[in-house]
Amino acid sequence: MLRAAIPASVLLAVSAWAGDATALPVAVAPKDPNFRYVGRFDLRKPEAPVCAWPGSTIVAKFKGTAINAKMRGNKGEDFFEVIIDGARQPVLVLNKDQTVYRVAEKLAAGEHLLELVKRTETMSSTTAFLGLELEPGGGLVALPGRPERRIEVYGDSVSCGNSNEGTKANEPMARKLSNNYFAYGAVASRALNAEYTCIAWSGRKLWPDSTLPSIYDLTVAPWDNAPKWNFAWIPHVVAINLGSNDYGNGAPEEQGWTNAYKEFIKALRSHYPDCHVFCCLCSSIMGKDRAPMRRLTQKVVESLQQAGDKKIHYVEFKEQAAPDGIGPGWHPTIKTHQIMAETLAAEIKRELNW
């Protein structure tokens, strides 16, 4: 059973710490082996690992009643979910003039599990993690084992969770309304107890220009001169949710688009030969665009199945509907993301017997 998403109306207030938080005396460096980095991190500088993709997560288990996070965003305006012992805390808002942030205080004495989850997109900021600060006697303790299941999502603004906390289609899109933690891929992954990564970028297409496949292998952002990703983390499931932006100038040319989709799957399979690939029809593909995009996506899946691929699947998310809210820029709301998550999780369960 999927846990219900928290409605936008009761989302926690944004953190409003002014200037660097009061320092705590016990410093924990990012290279401490008790940290876990989930997602793509540039680790060439162990004193300041860098992440950019939405959903990138830092996990640690600590002893103490208060904790500071030391982080630096290269542009500012990067937003992180702070999750302690499974409960959401005030949202952490990075700014370019601050590096030390109080993320929790007045906790019960003992051990606590901390997750720092990047809500915002790659274009918002590249973030360097500089470590934690704890109270006297505090420190990190060993984490429980990693989840055995792994899911990776490739997509555009919908997969990012762009403006999903908004509720009005004519409301301006905004970073503060965008929350990958409640994007469908993250919600489905938590429901399935799977580790999750998201490689998505607003406005990106499958083909022929401004494509997600042209940047899918980056460790962080294109402008950061980082090495290409090593694909050492191997997912059991890859979900591809592209096509929402491919109708900007009318329907894409069929042969070019379907060939590009198959080439992208081929590229992913070169890294993940045994994964199950789920090709999705997005909730935000609406009206007259829906039937042709369904046909093209199904054509790709059926062609690969006929060629012998037994681990390729089609998933159709229900078209978003006004009763569930239409978010800024006609993006899905948190409620629609929840519905999408339920559909994806059910299909994964059915195909993989999870």
Residue pLDDT, tens place only, 44-95: 999 999 999 999 999 999 999 999 999 998 876 799 999 999 999 999 999 8
Phi, psi of 123 (to 5 degrees): -70, -20
**Angle of CA points 96, 88, 199, to nearest 5°:** 60
**CA–CA gap between residue 248 and residue 149 (Å, rounded):** 36
Strand order in the sheet with 312-316: 194-200, 149-155, 237-241, 276-281, 312-316
Those residues whose C-beta lies under 8 Å from the C-beta of residue 9, and which sit 6 or more positions away, are none
Q: Over 80: is that where the pLDDT of 4 sits?
A: no
Specify the residue for token string 């500012």: 76
pLDDT category of residue 8 using cuts at 50, 70 and 90 = very low
How confident is the model at residue 19, as a pLDDT?
A: 65
Composition of the chain by helix, strand, coil, percent to 5? 25, 30, 45
User: Lowest-pLDDT range, 37-41, 129-133, 162-166, 171-175?
Assistant: 171-175
User: Lowest-pLDDT range, 30-44, 74-88, 190-204?
Assistant: 74-88
How confident is the model at residue 75, as a pLDDT?
A: 76
Residue 212 Ramachandran class (φ > 0 left, ψ -120 to 50 alpha, else beta): alpha
Could you tell me the CA-to-CA distances from 137 to 22, 33, 105, 225 in Å, in that order? 17, 18, 15, 39
**Angle of CA points 342, 347, 353, to nearest 5°:** 115
**CA–CA gap between residue 235 and residue 144 (Å, rounded):** 19
Name all domains of the chain by residue range, CATH numbers in brackets.
Answer: 8-141 (2.60.120.260), 149-352 (3.40.50.1110)
User: Which of 176, 187, 274 is closest to 4 using CA atoms?
Assistant: 187
Mean per-residue pLDDT, 236-243: 98
DSSP assignment string, 324-347: G-B-GGGPBPHHHHHHHHHHHHHH
Encoding tokens for residue 344?
């994806």
What pLDDT, in 10s, does the model give residues 103-151? 999 999 999 999 999 999 998 889 999 999 999 999 999 999 999 999 9
How confident is the model at residue 11, as a pLDDT?
A: 44
**CA–CA gap between residue 158 and residue 229 (Å, rounded):** 23
How confident is the model at residue 76, as a pLDDT?
A: 67
pLDDT averaged over the chain?
A: 93
CA 218, distance to chain mean position in Å, is 15
Higher pLDDT, 220 or 73: 220
How confident is the model at residue 125, as a pLDDT?
A: 85
Q: Over 90: is that where the pLDDT of 344 sits?
A: yes
How confident is the model at residue 73, as a pLDDT?
A: 87
Q: Give 174-179 contacts, CB < 8 A, sequence gap 24+.
A: 174/328, 175/77, 175/78, 175/79, 175/120, 175/121, 175/124, 176/14, 176/79, 176/93, 177/327, 177/328, 178/79, 178/119, 178/120, 178/121, 179/79, 179/81, 179/119, 179/334
Q: DSSP strand E in the chain: where?
A: 26-28, 36-38, 41-42, 50-51, 57-63, 67-73, 78-84, 87-88, 92-94, 100-104, 111-118, 127-134, 139-141, 149-155, 194-200, 237-241, 276-281, 312-316
What pLDDT, in 10s, does the model give residues 259-312? 999 999 999 999 999 999 999 999 999 999 999 999 999 999 999 999 999 999
**CA–CA gap between residue 134 and residue 132 (Å, rounded):** 7
Neighbours of 295 (CB within 10 A): 11
* Reported pTM: 0.94
Sign for the pseudo-dihedral over CA of 67, 71, 75, 79:
negative
How confident is the model at residue 54, as a pLDDT?
A: 98
In the chain, % of residues over pLDDT 70: 94
- Specify which residues 93 forms β-bridges with: 79
CA dihedral 292, 297, 299, 304 (to 10 degrees): 170
- Specify which residues 289 forms β-bridges with: none
